[in-house]
Structure 1
Amino acid sequence: MGQDSSAEQDPTVGQDPTFIQHPAYGQYGEELEMEPESATTQSLAADQKPTEGQEPEMDSVEKLFEDLGGPHGRNISDSLSDNKKLQRILEEFLGRPASKDPDYQYLVKHAKKSFVDGPSNTSYLRQQLAHLAIQKTFSRKDQSFKARQLKYHRWLALGMKSESYPFQNRDPNGMPSTTRIGVLVNPTACASCGKRGANMRCPNCCSLQDEAHVLEKTAYCNKKCVQDHYKAHQKDHMFRRLHEATYMYRLAKIYRKNGLLYLIDENWDRAGITGRHVFIPPPKGLAESEEMYLGLLLWAQAEEVKLSPSFLIDYILQPVCKEIKIVYTQTRNVLSPHCQMSADGKVTNLNLHRHTVLKLTLRSDETYVLDLSAPQFGWKETLAPWDAWTNLRAFISDSEPFRSGSKKAIESTAELTGLDKEQQVARTKLMKEIVKEVRNIKDLGETLNADDHDFQQTKYMFTRMIENKIFLVIKNEYHKPEYRLWLCGAPNYGVRVSKSYTNVLKELWINPKEYDKLKESGTDMRKWWGDRIDGKLKDNLDTSGLTIVTGTSPQPLNLRDLTNRQK
Structure 2
Amino acid sequence: MDSIEKLFRDLPSPAADRAALERNGTWDLAHFSRALTSFRPSQSSDPDREFFVKWTRSFLETQDFATLRSELGRLALDKAQIPDDGSAKSRQLKYHAWISQGRKDEEYPFKDEEISEGKPVGLLTGGHAFLPDKLTNPKTCANCAKPNTEAACGGCLVVLDSHVVMKTAYCSKGCQTQHWQEHKLQCLGRRKVCRAVSLIYDLFVMFQKKAWIDKQVASITEKQGITNIIHDQPDEWAFQGKPFVRCFPSGIAPSEEHALAVLFDSECQQLLCTCQGLVKLLLLPLCKTLQEVEIMPRNAYRPTCDMRHDTAHNTMYNQHVVLCATLKSGEQMAIDIAGAQFGWRETVAPWGVWISHRVAGKPCPQPFGHAQQCMQMLYPFAAPQFVQASESQRSSLAQKMQVAVQNKMKEHKAPSAHELYKLDDVAFASCRSAMLSGAEKALDNGLRELHESKVGLCYIDARGQWQATASKEQAEALKRVWLTDEDVKTAKDKGRDLRLIYQLRCKNQGTRQKFKAAGLNMP
- Please state which band the TM-score falls in when normalised by the shorter chain: 0.7 to 0.9
Shift in Å, 1:465: 1.6
Distance 2:13 2:352 in 1: 30
Query: Are residue 460 (structure 1) and residue 410 (structure 2) matched?
Result: no
Q: What are the residue-to-residue correspondences of 1:352-501 with 2, within 5 Å? A: 352-395=317-360, 396-403=362-369, 409-410=375-376, 412-413=378-379, 416-437=383-404, 438=406, 439-440=409-410, 441-443=412-414, 448=421, 450-475=423-448, 477-483=449-455, 485-497=457-469, 499=471, 501=474
Tell me what 2:176 maps to. none
Distance 1:65 1:104 in 2: 12
Q: Which residue is equivalent to 1:73?
A: 17
Q: CA deviation at 1:412?
A: 3.1
Per-residue deviation, residues 66-123 of structure 1 (Å, max 9, x unmatched): 23353342323354x4365224422xx23x5341x21122212222333335xx6655
| In structure 2, distance between residues paired with 1:324 and 1:491 | 44
Counterpart for residue 145 of structure 2 = none
For residue 158 of structure 1, what is the aligned residue in structure 2? 101
Letter paired with 1:149: Q
Aligned to 2:273: 307
Q: Could you say what secondary structure the match of 1:244 adopts?
A: helix
> Residue 359 of structure 1 contacts residue 370 of structure 1 at CA under 8 Å; is this kept in 2?
yes
CA-to-partner distance for each residue in 1:499-556, whole Å, 9 max, x for gaps?
351221123223211222123212211132123225989xxxxxxxxxxxxx9xxxx7
How big is the shift at 1:280?
3.2
SS at match of 2:208: helix
Retained in 2: the 8 A contact 1:360–1:370?
yes
Q: Deviations over 1:128-159 (max 9, x none)?
A: 32221121244674211111111111111111
2:34 aligned to 85, 104, 111, which one?
A: 85
Q: 2:500 aligns with which of 527, 535, 540?
A: 527
> Aligned partners of 1:124, 1:448: CA distance in 2, in Å?
43
Match of 2:220 in 1: 254
1:130-209 aligned at under 5 Å gives the runs: 130-138=73-81, 141-169=84-112, 170-172=114-116, 173-176=118-121, 178=127, 180-181=130-131, 183=133, 184-186=135-137, 199-201=153-155
Equivalent pair of 1:447/1:454 in contact (CA under 8 Å):
no
Q: Residues 240, 371 of structure 1: CA spacing in aligned structure 2 closer, same or farther, 3 A cutoff?
A: same
Asked if the contact 1:275–1:484 (Cα under 8 Å) also holds between the matched residues in 2, the reply is no
Q: Tell me how far apart the structure 2 counterparts of residues 352 and 561 of structure 1 sit (CA, whole Å).
A: 46
Matched residue type, 2:17: G
Matched with 1:544 is none
Q: Which amino acid aligns with 1:97?
A: Q
Do 2:293 and 2:322's aligned partners in 1 also have CA atoms closer than 8 Å? yes
- What is the one-letter code of the residue matched to 1:308? T
Residue 297 in 1 paired to residue 297 in 2? no
Structure 2 residue matching 1:412: 3-state secondary structure: helix
Q: How many angstroms apart in 2 are the aligned matches of 1:391 and 1:269?
A: 43
Whether contact under 8 Å (1:133, 1:150) holds in the other structure is yes
Q: Distance in 1 between matches of 2:426 and 2:312?
A: 50
Unmatched 5+ residue regions in structure 2? 21-25, 142-148, 169-182
Structure 2 residue 489 is the aligned partner of structure 1 residue 516: yes
Question: What amino acid is aligned across from residue 103 of structure 1 in structure 2?
Answer: D
Distance 1:241 1:483 in 2: 22
Indicate if the aligned counterparts of 2:98 and 2:109 stay in contact, CA closer than 8 A.
yes
SS of structure 2 residue aligned to 1:73: helix
Distance in 2 (CA, whole Å) between partners of 1:175 and 1:224 is 31
- Residues in 1 aligned to 2:111 and 2:371: alpha-carbon distance in whole angstroms: 46
Call closer, same or farther: CA 1:487–1:561 in 2, change over 3 Å: closer
> Structure 1 251/387 Cα, relative in aligned 2: closer, same or farther at 3 Å?
same
Give, in angstroms, the shift of residue 467 of structure 1: 1.5
Aligned Cα root-mean-square deviation (Å): 3.6
Q: Compute the displacement of 1:161 (Å).
A: 0.7
- Identity rate of aligned residues, in percent? 24
**What secondary structure is seen at the aligned counterpart in 2 of 1:360?**
strand
- Structure 1 residues 534 and 484, CA, compared in 2 at 3 Å: closer, same or farther? farther
Deviations 1:455-500 (A, max 9, x none): 332222222122222222222x222142352321454342534535
Q: What residue in structure 2 maps to residue 105 of structure 1?
A: 50
For 2:3, the equivalent position in structure 1 comes to 60
Q: Of 60, 78, 84, which aligns to 1:115? A: 60
1:24 equivalent in structure 2: none
Q: Which residue of 1 aligns with 2:198?
A: 233
SS at match of 1:201: coil
TM-score, reference length from structure 1: 0.73
Question: Which letter does structure 1 place at the counterpart of 2:38?
Answer: I
How big is each residue's C-alpha offset from its partner over 1:320-373, in whole Å with a ceiling of 9 and x where there is no partner?
A: 11111111111111111221112x312211111111111111121111111111
Indicate if the aligned counterparts of 2:333 and 2:351 stay in contact, CA closer than 8 A. Answer: yes
Check 1:415–1:334 CA distance in 2 against 1; reply closer, same or farther (3 A cut): farther
One-letter code of the match for 1:143?
Answer: G
Query: What is the deviation of 1:253?
Result: 1.6
Residues 1:226 and 1:504: Cα distance change in structure 2 (over 3 Å): same
The residue type paired with residue 391 of structure 2 is: Q
- Deviation track 1:224-274 (CA, whole Å, cap 9, x = no partner) reads 653354223221121111111101333212223344222111224333222
Q: Count how many residue pairs are aligned between Structure 1 and Structure 2.
A: 472
1:280 equivalent in alignment to 2:257: no
TM-score (norm 2): 0.79
Distance 1:239 1:274 in 2: 29
